[in-house]
């Protein structure tokens, strides 16, 4: 999963919900470490502004 930084509102919601701590908060936007991401889909499910995607 990747996060489109232009769409991300910076709410931080997905950061704490990622089960494997793959999301960092950099420059007030969420960013996924693709090596750690298991593609579980949680961030995409909960993001209100559709920022995470393939």
Partner 1 sequence: MQKKYDVIIAGAGPAGLMTAQVLGERGARVLLVDMKKDIARVYRACCANLIIEPGTHRELVTYAGGAFHFAENKFSIPYGGSIIALKRSVKVSAGGKTLIISGKSPEGNVALSFEKEILLQGMLAKAAACSTIEIMPETQALRAENTADGVAVTLRYGGRECAAVSRIAVAADGVNSSIVESLGLNKTRRTAFGRFMVASCHMAGVDCPYPESWVTFMGKGHTLGGRGQIYMCPKPHSGAKDTVVYELTVGVPALGPPTPSAKQELDHFINQGNFASWFKHARIIDTRAAALNFATPLIHPVEGNVVVVGDAAAFIETYVQGAIMYGYQAAHAIAQQLATGSGLDAYARSWKHSFEYNDPEEIKLSTQGFGLHVLDDGDIDYLFGLTAGDDIHGFVNEFSEPMTVRGAIFNHMAQIKNERPALAGMLERFGEVSVKDALQVGSS
Q: What are phi and psi of 43, to 5 degrees?
A: -60, -40
- Give the one residue of 24, 28, 49, 53 binding ligand SF4; rule: CB under 6 A: 49
- Give the one residue of 2, 36, 40, 41 binding partner 1; rule: CB under 8 A: 41
Q: What angle do CA 18, 1, 27 make, to 5 degrees?
A: 70
Number of residues in contact with ligand SF4 under rule CB under 6 A? 26
- Give the one residue of 6, 8, 12, 21 binding ligand FAD; rule: CB under 6 A: 12
- The listed partner (partner 1, ligand FAD, ligand SF4, none) that binds 28, CB under 5 to 8 Å by sort, is partner 1
Query: How far from 31 is each of 6, 24, 38, 53, CA to CA, in Å?
Result: 11, 5, 14, 12
């Amino acid at each position: 999963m990747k996060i489109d930084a232009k769409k991300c509102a910076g709410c931080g919601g997905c950061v704490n919900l990622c089960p494997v701590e793959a999301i960092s908060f950099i420059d007030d936007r969420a960013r996924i470490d693709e090596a750690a991401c298991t593609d579980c889909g949680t961030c995409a499910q909960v993001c209100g502004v559709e920022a995470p995607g393939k």
